[in-house]
């Protein structure tokens, strides 16, 4: 939260976050994602989020890019990705 707060002090038009939930308990990670959602909604700030927790990341995004071996394998809007059977099976644990 401190790192996010420091980034917001500059009043950015783009906030870049790399694995903000890394090493946190599930409860704290959930609060981080809620804070990111609030920042996006209230400050109208664009956010570039790199995150392993795909389901939570997809809930927050307008557009997502899936990397495999360092290359973009799929890019699309949230609804299309969440409806993609391969994405559901590989990243969301469904389908």
Return the pLDDT at 36: 94
At residue 74, φ and ψ (nearest 5 deg) are -145, 140
Report whether pLDDT(11) > 80: yes
Query: Domain residue spans in the chain?
Result: 1-52, 62-95
* Per-residue pLDDT at 67 exceeds 80: yes
Mean per-residue pLDDT over the chain, rounded: 92
Q: Which pLDDT score is estimated for 95?
A: 62
pLDDT at 93: 85
List the end-to-end C-alpha distance of the chain, in Å, as a whole number.
34
Read off the pLDDT of residues 40-65 as tens digits, 9 standing for 90 and up.
999 988 999 999 999 999 999 999 99
With beta carbons less than 8 A apart as the criterion, state whether 22 and 46 touch: no
Instruction: Tell me how crowded residue 37 is: count the other CB atoms within 10 A of its CB.
Output: 14
Whether the pTM exceeds 0.75: the reply is yes
Q: Tokens representing 89?
A: 């099976």
Cα 33 to chain centroid, rounded: 8
Q: What is the rounded distance in angstroms from the CA atom of residue 83 to the CA atom of residue 71?
A: 21
């Amino acid at each position: 939260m401190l790192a996010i707060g420091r980034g917001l002090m500059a009043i950015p038009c783009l906030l870049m976050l790399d694995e903000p939930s890394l090493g946190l308990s599930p409860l704290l990670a959930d609060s981080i994602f809620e804070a990111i959602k609030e920042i996006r909604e209230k400050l109208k700030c664009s956010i570039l989020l790199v995150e392993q927790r795909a389901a939570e990341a997809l809930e927050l995004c307008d557009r997502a890019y899936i990397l495999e071996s360092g290359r973009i394998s799929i890019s699309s809007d949230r609804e299309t990705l969440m409806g993609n059977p391969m994405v559901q099976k590989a990243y969301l644990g469904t389908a």
